[in-house]
Amino acid sequence: MLNIVLFGPPGAGKGTQSQKLIARYNLVHLSTGDLLRSQIAQGTELGLRAKKLMDEGLLVPDEVVIGMIESQLASNTTAAGFIFDGFPRTVPQAESLDALMQRYDTGVSCMIALEVAEEELVSRLLERGKTSNRIDDQDEAKIRKRVTVYNTETAQVAGFYAAQQKFHALNGIGAIEDIFQQICTIIDQHQAATTEDTRQATDEVKA
């Protein structure tokens, strides 16, 4: 399976690149932000509780998002792989994702981080807020709060994957297509290395 964690602050381009990646690699897109907004739209109890935090730019509790990912994995057992967008956002979420993936005899293939400076993020999100209907994109103070939450609570997740030699960073400023090609290069190199490992293991068994 190919399981990609697409990482980066709000406004880095994760959603845009996810759409292109799912088409190229036939992956299931799991965005915890989208899953939470769908709960809000359905008016569920979980959605109501999450909305208050989301509107303030704060993180929803780990157990809520982990539970959502768990049920998505359980209902997509035939998927060729997943692209995780906006998850994991804390180290406990990353640890839980590893444990969940192990249940399916798989794991995170690599994390790709899109790096974008704060002023660019603020201007991108304010622009998106004109059409997205997202309250959290319409107020500069809330946007800056989300970036601060990213820097204080989420950025350390990069270290979690770096320790597993799975971390790759890219400049997230540039043409969408150029950034997409750079992401594909990382994924294709990962897949080539995995295929080579499998071939060597098969040769060893035969020898």
**Which residues participate in catalysis according to the annotation?**
14, 89, 128, 134, 146
- CA gap 45, 51 in Å, rounded: 10
3-state secondary structure of 60: coil
**E strands, the chain, in order:** 2-7, 28-31, 81-85, 110-115, 167-171
133 C-beta neighbours (distance < 10 Å), count: 9
* Window 131-150: residues binding ligand AMP (CB under 6 A): 136, 146
Q: Please list, in sequence order, all residues whose beta carbon lies within 8 angstroms of the beta carbon of residue 68, skipping any fewer than 6 positions away.
A: 32, 35, 36
Q: Which stretch binds ligand AMP (CB under 6 A): 72-80, 86-94, 166-174, 189-197?
A: 86-94
* Residue number with the smallest Cβ distance to ligand AMP: 33
Contact pattern for ligand AMP over residues 170 through 199, marking x by CB under 6 A = ------------------------------
Give the per-residue contact string, 41-80, with ligand AMP (x = CB under 6 A; - = no): ------------xx--xxxx----x---------------
How many residues bind ligand AMP, per CB under 6 A? 17
96/40 Cα distance (integer angstroms): 24
C-beta pairs of 46-55 under 8 Å, 24+ apart in sequence: 54/136, 55/135, 55/136, 55/142
Say whether residue 13 binds ligand AMP (CB under 6 A): no
Cβ-based nearer residue to ligand AMP, 13 or 57: 57
Min separation Cβ 96 and ligand AMP, Å: 11
Place of tokens 């768990």: 70
Q: Binding residues for ligand AMP, per CB under 6 A?
A: 10, 32-33, 36, 53-54, 57-60, 65, 86-87, 89, 93, 136, 146
